[in-house]
Structure 1
């Protein structure tokens, strides 16, 4: 089994992505998470290029890593300087990392135009820089910047740049598709040429994703002999990003038979992906292969029916192998299998011929046509399921609510008051409350009337509130109109749950979601008491 080392550059190349802002402490935390995942190399930044990286390299001194080797990144020395006097190379050494990665020009046009030096002088910059660093650090990696563009325009010179670095003592030569525009067939041609020209040399691949081919190009380079892949978690990076390690690693491990971080570490991939996105304060991409929330989510009834018999019918790998999980979604495209699967997941055993299944399916399709989306509101679906089974308990019944919003010229904020009348255990409760807006006032008034009977309602907290206008949702009368969908995420000390309401009126939609949230809390408390768990 061939081993392919994984070189993560999330903290350097990934940090150059638009909207990506990492503090030095963020970078320290991510570095340790990458080490836990089993990453072999962590490119931590460019010492001296900015205050954040300078602080990071100072803070990381003394930290120990179980699997990863830290790498500092920089360029060949300045054209008018020598390695001994170059501030960039000095900063790399002052970072005290076991590995130093430097990039140099391998495209003749970049040497003459961007650097403004002769082709021979550019080779001298590469040779002198690598020669200077090799005896001073454990390992020097050479990134051949724009290698594939260089090979396409002047293959002889591009190969000469690689050989210069190799002869100077570079431990690995990394072929960079810096502009991200190279097609996979061209990558294959160039990699074959490098392997033939430099037999025995350790080759790496660093691909950008401007043509949506970074992962494919990385896998092809490995197939043809590369022993290292550089990339970032979630594909973060400048412009369109870098090769996504969350796709590269499982493809290498599970489909190409390569050894990278190992199967056990692979199960941490989803958690690592989420950790990095949360630390960067970026929303995870739902449809990301392997680790996205939708990667193993099934909506169509035919699909669900098939995966219940054999998951390989519509899943290319076992989701658990990357730390993910299979999900069945409820929607207007659902079939009986979706209902059966979801009911079983929630602890309700329904038979295939149970009339409740057809009743639920019809109600689900009708409500989805109005704008309900039960795939994101499991708590509301479970309450609907309980009602269909005749198991739903009426903790209270609705009589009336009245909401007043007013603002006078002199008022800095509107004044909101809600009045609620409900029947609880045969007693009519008439309560009123003010709040920060109509939904908050309604919630407070409702709970005010209920907490005397159900004290544990004081434990719940509103965690998130989302509103979406749904143009053209179909009425049950056959017409079309705009509905508003409200999603509320609520939590207590035990769990979090999402409920939903849909109406033309945002207050009514919010009321539905709030009532479901409270009903679900009371139901879960009853269930815990029955199980002897408080």
Structure 2
């Protein structure tokens, strides 16, 4: 089966209605540019008359010269009014975009309760609003709100709402499962009936309240819908919208629809992670296709099998969506994990190597004590390189100390660090807003004398986990640190009964890895350098 499916991205509109998501005009412009590079066909920018951010966005987005069709969002005219005088519709036309989506009621219950008007007036609102857009030469899409609930309650009226939009000149009839409560078999059956009743292009817009938004979207496409509306990472109100990061590869790689060119499909993972950074929302590690763990393997039997053929435990080649295979090393791992990991690093290791067994036992002991290497690939790489004699540390730590005191209304931390580089002792002092920031600054200051590129390394995330809460304040703590450089990001781990010491261990590993990375290939991942500019060091820890 091969036919064109049009991707309508509403991250900048419906996605921003998700709890905890707030995008500035600058954020929205960055995301619009990224979505355009991915190759989506429509980008819904928001409501050009609703708030200052959206107004600014529509003014500035013109300079981006997007290939995607920029779309404005609004609603049908107000009841008992005239479309030509409706402020919302006028703002849409004045925005200068080529396309618009209007939401209108398709459920008689909503017409009576929410709009508090007659069924006839609602149909007139729909038809006249679309006629107004078409008189202004815009591509027009009707988001039939609550369509599936409306159809199940009163199919004749739900279809009448679609016919009113068609009579007004709408180019697309988009069927919305606004409450997210419809089942896939219902979606498929109703879409087929609509297709049989109306000779019009059909779109689908689903919500994830039953965790079926992706399944419902695929069911609608199978029944004849050719426009898919959704958001990156499934952002949206309540439980979210249909997740385009799952829908796009499912349509293209599993159902053989033409969606995106292969080179743009391979940008999907980078796009998902970039937008999650802009939105300041951490992606679930197990998110299908684009998550960090989507192609991660931990069990020794699994790793042994994928070393023979990755198809044994991977349903697609990860690179098709821009992701990559990861082998995790933990207390559950076997020698296959170590061998696979070492092979990626270019180390010559095999099952007959006694050192392999020793390092495996050592890792298991460290994880038993509280370390966690599956979330700290950089610390693991340093451990393996050191064990197999492939790494000489760029510096040695001789000592450190940190002092925190309150000066009037301010808390100031001071760190003293003494390191050795090739026999040269370097002693530095630095202040910070917190003890970890002070240590990070002091170590960076010492290393910069010999390695100036270290200034491009940023501490971007910091997590503390108490290993055994029953030990109260005497418990060991595990610190995970995420750092970012010009070319990549990496994670390191530290463990101690002292949170400062655990933090210091993770920071030292981070800088060791950064200096190791500087010796590697100097080719930047697309957009990674520009992303690094958006990171801000955690200066209050």
TM above 0.5, yes or no, is yes
Show the 5 A alignment for 1:103-502.
Answer: 103-198=103-198, 200-391=199-390, 393=392, 401=399, 403=401, 405=403, 407=405, 412-413=410-411, 416=414, 418=416, 433=429, 435-436=431-432, 438-439=435-436, 455-456=450-451, 459=454, 461=457, 463-464=459-460, 466-472=462-468, 482-489=475-482, 497-502=490-495
- Aligned Cα root-mean-square deviation (Å): 3.1
Task: Measure how far apart 1:281 and its partner are.
Answer: 2.9
* CA–CA separation in structure 2 for the residues paired with 1:442 and 1:190: 62
Q: Which has the larger radius of gyration?
A: 1
Report if the CA contact (8 A) 1:371-1:470 is conserved. Answer: no
Structure 1 residue 37 corresponds to structure 2 residue 32: no
Report if the CA contact (8 A) 1:37-1:265 is conserved. Answer: yes
Report if the CA contact (8 A) 1:205-1:226 is conserved. Answer: yes
SS at match of 1:413: strand
Greater Cα shift, 152-161 or 163-172: 163-172
From the superposition, tell whether residues 331 and 116 of structure 1 become closer, same or farther in structure 2 (CA, over 3 Å). same
* CA–CA separation in structure 1 for the residues paired with 2:520 and 2:110: 69
Task: Measure how far apart 1:191 and its partner are.
Answer: 1.2
Report if the CA contact (8 A) 1:329-1:375 is conserved. Answer: yes
TM-score, normalised on structure 2? 0.86
* CA–CA separation in structure 1 for the residues paired with 2:490 and 2:393: 19
From the superposition, tell whether residues 337 and 149 of structure 1 become closer, same or farther in structure 2 (CA, over 3 Å). same
* CA–CA separation in structure 2 for the residues paired with 1:373 and 1:501: 9
Report if the CA contact (8 A) 2:404-2:411 is conserved. Answer: no
Report if the CA contact (8 A) 1:332-1:368 is conserved. Answer: yes
SS at match of 1:379: helix
* CA–CA separation in structure 1 for the residues paired with 2:270 and 2:361: 37
* CA–CA separation in structure 2 for the residues paired with 1:130 and 1:526: 60
Report if the CA contact (8 A) 1:403-1:438 is conserved. Answer: no
Name the structure 2 match of 1:89: 89
From the superposition, tell whether residues 382 and 419 of structure 1 become closer, same or farther in structure 2 (CA, over 3 Å). closer
Report if the CA contact (8 A) 1:180-1:208 is conserved. Answer: yes
* CA–CA separation in structure 2 for the residues paired with 1:72 and 1:215: 24
Structure 1 residue 509 corresponds to structure 2 residue 502: yes
* CA–CA separation in structure 2 for the residues paired with 1:408 and 1:195: 71
* CA–CA separation in structure 2 for the residues paired with 1:449 and 1:45: 48
Report if the CA contact (8 A) 2:454-2:514 is conserved. Answer: no
Name the structure 2 match of 1:12: 13
Task: Measure how far apart 1:263 and its partner are.
Answer: 2.2
Task: Measure how far apart 1:211 and its partner are.
Answer: 1.2
Task: Measure how far apart 1:206 and its partner are.
Answer: 0.6
* CA–CA separation in structure 2 for the residues paired with 1:2 and 1:394: 55
Structure 1 residue 3 corresponds to structure 2 residue 24: no
How many residues are matched? 516
